[in-house]
C-alpha cells in the first residue's frame, strides 16, 4: 500500500531539502519497505518540493491538507476500536493476536488492539504510515516549531512530498 507524507525540513535549496528527507528516512522510515520522492503524488507541487517563500499560501494549504489526512486516519482508527478501554484491550485474551485463530470474529477482535496501538502512535506524534505531515527538523507532527521557523527564516523552509510503500 502506498501512503504519502509532506515532510517539512530546513534546507539551502530544493536539492538539499530532498537530501534531508532521504537522511531522515534512513533513520525514521524503517516501517516502509521502499519509498521515493514524489512518486504517485508528484503532481501535487512542481518537483514535489515547495519552498515556503515561493508560495506561502500553497505551503500552508498543503500542510493543512496533509494534517487532515492524518486526522481522517485517526478518526477511522478510533471508530474501528470503538469504546474499548486500554485495560480491556491488554487484559482480555480475545484481543490478543494468535496465529492459529481462523474465525473472522477472532481476527476482528485482535485487530482492535493493533488499531488502538496505531491511534496511540498518532496521538503521540510518532512518524509512521498514518502520519501524513511531519516536521523532520523538530521531529514532531505539530506545526509549532515550523511556524516559528517560518517567521524567522522563511527562505529555508521546505515541504517535500514523499511516497512510501507500506
Confidence check: pLDDT of 125 > 60: yes
- Percent of the chain scoring above 70 in pLDDT: 95
Q: What is the pLDDT of residue 70?
A: 97
| CA distances for 16 relative to 20, 24, 52, 73, 158, angstroms | 6, 12, 15, 30, 10
User: CA 24, 28, 33, 37 torsion: positive or negative?
Assistant: negative
* Residue 1 buriedness (CB in 10 A; 0-12 / 13-18 / 19+): exposed
C-alpha cell at 142: 505539530
Q: How confident is the model over 65-84, as a mean pLDDT?
A: 94
DSSP 142: S
- Could you tell me the pTM of the whole model? 0.90
pLDDT band (50, 70, 90) for residue 98: low
Q: How confident is the model over 66-90, as a mean pLDDT?
A: 93
The tens digit of pLDDT for each residue in 19-53 reads 999 999 999 999 999 999 999 999 989 999 999 99
The label of the residue with cell 493476536 reads 97
Q: Which of 54, 29, 2, 10 is closest to 160 using CA atoms?
A: 10
Q: What is the pLDDT of residue 102?
A: 56
Q: Which of 100, 141, 143 is closest to 122 using CA atoms?
A: 141
Q: What is the pLDDT of residue 99?
A: 59
Amino acid at each position: 500500500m502506498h501512503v504519502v507524507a509532506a515532510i517539512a525540513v530546513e534546507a539551502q535549496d530544493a536539492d538539499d531539502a530532498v537530501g534531508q528527507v532521504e537522511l531522515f528516512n534512513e533513520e525514521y522510515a524503517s516501517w516502509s519497505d521502499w519509498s521515493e520522492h514524489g512518486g504517485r503524488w508528484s503532481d501535487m507541487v512542481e518537483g514535489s518540493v515547495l519552498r515556503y517563500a515561493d508560495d506561502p499560501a500553497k505551503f500552508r494549504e498543503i500542510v493543512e491538507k496533509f494534517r487532515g489526512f492524518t486526522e481522517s486516519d485517526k478518526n477511522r482508527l478510533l471508530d474501528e476500536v470503538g469504546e474499548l478501554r486500554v485495560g480491556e484491550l491488554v487484559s482480555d485474551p480475545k484481543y490478543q493476536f494468535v496465529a492459529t485463530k481462523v474465525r473472522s470474529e477472532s481476527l476482528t477482535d485482535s485487530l482492535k488492539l493493533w488499531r488502538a496501538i496505531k491511534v496511540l502512535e498518532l496521538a503521540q506524534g510518532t512518524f509512521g504510515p498514518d502520519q501524513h505531515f511531519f516536521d523532520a527538523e523538530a521531529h514532531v507532527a505539530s506545526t509549532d516549531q515550523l511556524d516559528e521557523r517560518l517567521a524567522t527564516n522563511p527562505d529555508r523552509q521546505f515541504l517535500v512530498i514523499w511516497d512510501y510503500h507500506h
